[in-house]
Amino acid sequence: MHVSFDGFEADLIGSPEEVASSFNRILAQQIPTLELAKALVLNYSLAELTNMFQEYVRITPEGPRVITDAKLSDKMLIMLQLVAVKIGFEAAKLETYRATLQDLERLTGLNPKSISSRLSELVKAGHVDRLASDNGVFYYITTAGVNWLAKSLGKLG
């Protein structure tokens, strides 16, 4: 008998009773390990991101935008716009999940110096990653950043 599930594979050979016993033993060993691994993995799907930030982020004909009447700090507005970019990418509306300082300036209307200062703080905190390439400097929200933002906005317990 060949057993395959969630990246685990095994060939069980023997009498029906031996195969059944081996199969039960594998299940008893593997299922708790898989459940533990799933409990430890943090990765937000498009559906989860959309659900968590639906009152702030909208996909418009011009692209993903933060649209809210709430008074938000510059840091929160930048983080929400980076989430919007991530959602736009995951929804196949954008070609990248990253934004430049100029993109963030255009999308948020914030002062470039303020954006730069907040991004520096966010990178140090691990909420945003910075990528320098031949094409420029890009920023994107990390999984830890999504988690922090959701908690800050009261979207996670």
CB atoms near residue 82 (< 10 Å): 29
What would the mean pLDDT of 37-41 be, rounded to a whole number? 61
Q: Give yes or no for a contact between 102 and 84, defined as CB atoms under 8 angstroms apart.
A: no
- 69 inside domain: yes
Reported confidence tier of residue 89, pLDDT bands at 50, 70, 90:
very high
For residues 88 and 23, membership in a common domain is answered with: no
Give the residue numbers spanning the domain of 79.
46-152
Question: What average pLDDT does range 72-87 have in this prediction?
Answer: 95
Mark whether 51 and 17 lie in a shared domain: no
Of residues 6 and 113, more confidence is placed in: 113
The answer to whether residue 157 is domain-embedded is no
Determine the straight-line distance between the first and last CA of the chain, rounded to whole angstroms.
44
* Domain-embedded: residue 115: yes
Question: 63 with 11, same domain?
Answer: no
**pLDDT at residue 57, rounded to an integer:** 94
**pLDDT attached to residue 24:** 73
How big is the chain, counted in residues? 157
Residue 132 falls inside a structural domain: yes
Whether 148 is in a domain gets the answer: yes
Q: What is the mean pLDDT of residues 98-117?
A: 95
As given in the structure block, the two tokens for residue 104 are 């963030």
